[in-house]
Structure 1
Amino acid sequence: MGVNDSRIPSKEECIPDNKTPMRITNKHYVTKNPIQGPFPPNIKTAVFGTGCFWGAEKGFWRMPGVYSTAVGYAAGHTAHATYDNVCTGRTGHNEVVHVAYDPSKIAYPDLLRMFWAQHDPTQGMGQGNDRGTQYRSGIYYYDDDQKTLALASKDSFQEKLKAKVKAVITTEIIPAPEFYYAEDYHQQYLAKPGARPYCSAQPTGIALGFDWIPKAFLPKHSPKLPETFWEKEGPKPGCTIVHGPNEQFVL
């Protein structure tokens, strides 16, 4: 909990920068690939925030075509923030997942569909039992294509929400800021022995689909994952991911 959990603090209100970058093990616990760049030239990156990053990361690493994932802090002010720093509410950072993916196997719209499926994007500064600015919903784009697709997906999901819960999406969609890696303890946390199966996400159970993708973005950004994946891994009310398998889904 922070100074004011209803708004992101200004830089002047934040904890001063830390000078030392976080040291982490550069090997994904599940995929065995590096989690820090530089990545192979065919790999693209994306960043999302959907609440507590433990469950969020697992949802993304299980997707076929994802090269690696990492959890960290972004969209705030304090450089090289620690978990304890972020929990004060005085860094401005969000708990986020950095996704490295192969666009020949999985498309950005596939990632967006998972993003909207794994949380309730209408809860403002929090998700479920987790309250505070570090648990806000966010999409952080690296280029104009990601920006356009993120905004189009938001508009489509908002229309679907109106028909059921009449709530307004609070997701922030902004250029990808500096990403600061979280501590080793948090990386792929739910896959490690002794992990506490915690998840506070509150998915709506509403499926996004793909009819929102602008025609000008096809076939470049055509979805790659078949409906068989979404039938198994798609949206369900409540958080169900923590008790599922850790391995990537096999098509």
Structure 2
Amino acid sequence: MSWFGRDKSKLVSAEEAIPGRDQPLTTPDLHAVYPDRRIKPPFPEGSRTAVFGLGCFWGAERLFWMTSGVYSTAVGYAGGHTPNPTYEEVCSGLTGHTEAVLVVYDPKQVSYEQLLKVFWEGHDPTQGMRQGNDVGTQYRSAIYYVDDTQREEAEASRATFQSALSAAGHGEITTELAPLREFYYAEDYHQQYLSDNKNPNGYCGLGGTGVSCPVGLGVSE
């Protein structure tokens, strides 16, 4: 399939996706903002992980590393078919991936439901295969759950936020909700891209709806 002249707002099938590679891309082990913390396993005992896609992953990652209770973050690619894709391949629309953020958090300090609130309020989840001026399948909104508990909480949170969006005159949520198959780490220069020692004034295309997402109204304990 040609990299040019195709509609990047349409997802490719597994058969159409480019082949990728067996070896992971070279990435650091430590976080640029919290240099004593790992962005790859092993993580501290008791920590949990979550994976979200909410547009350009530069600003999305910063949103989460600034969230209290989050131990570490990393950017990468999820939801597609091509193993170990490069940034250029993902941007071609021929891998099926979206730009994603891996969030490592302490559930004693921040709940998954609270992370979902950050997710919903940090972008516009009604835009389909785009986020603002960024257009293409790699910018789609997505939640990739790691177990049934996350799935149930994500579904409940989506329903709650849809009610809030509808009341404010917004459209239907288009967020992809699916099990996490694989998270592929992005290249070194993308990790913590907007940190002070890299690009503190770099591009951030995030923009929310201004609608608050209620918490505490979803799945009961």
Question: Would you say same fold, with TM above 0.5?
Answer: yes
1:18 matches 2:18: no
Counting only pairs closer than 5 Å after superposition, residues 212-223 of structure 1 correspond to structure 2 as 212-215=217-220, 217=221
Question: Residue type of the partner of 1:17?
Answer: G
Contact between 2:8 and 2:92, CA under 8 Å: does it hold in 1?
no
Deviations 1:129-152 (A, max 9, x none): 100000000000011110000000
Note the C-alpha offset of 1:6.
Answer: 2.7
1:51 aligned to which of 48, 55, 63: 55
State the alpha-carbon separation in 2 of the partners of residues 68 and 180 from structure 1.
16
**How many residues are matched?**
216
1:104 matches 2:105: no
1:30 aligned to which of 29, 33, 36: 33
SS at match of 1:190: coil
Which runs of no fewer than 5 residues in structure 1 stay unpaired?
218-251
Map of 1:190 onto structure 2: 194
Note the C-alpha offset of 1:185.
Answer: 0.3
Counting only pairs closer than 5 Å after superposition, residues 1-251 of structure 1 correspond to structure 2 as 3-32=6-35, 33-193=37-197, 195=199, 196-215=201-220, 217=221
State the alpha-carbon separation in 2 of the partners of residues 115 and 98 from structure 1.
12
Note the C-alpha offset of 1:194.
Answer: 5.1
State the alpha-carbon separation in 2 of the partners of residues 133 and 81 from structure 1.
14
Which runs of no fewer than 5 residues in structure 2 stay unpaired?
none
State the alpha-carbon separation in 2 of the partners of residues 138 and 173 from structure 1.
6
The Cα RMSD (Å) is 1.4
The TM-score, its normalising length taken from structure 1, stands at: 0.83
Q: Following TM superposition, where does structure 1 have runs of at least 4 consecutive aligned residues deviating by more than 6 angstroms?
A: none
Deviations 1:46-82 (A, max 9, x none): 0000000000000000111111000000100000000
Considering fraction of residues, name the structure with more helix.
1
Question: Residue type of the partner of 1:10?
Answer: S
SS at match of 1:198: coil
Note the C-alpha offset of 1:198.
Answer: 1.0
State the alpha-carbon separation in 2 of the partners of residues 214 and 16 from structure 1.
40
The TM-score, its normalising length taken from structure 2, stands at: 0.94
State the alpha-carbon separation in 1 of the partners of residues 217 and 173 from structure 2.
16
Contact between 2:161 and 2:214, CA under 8 Å: does it hold in 1?
no
SS at match of 2:194: helix
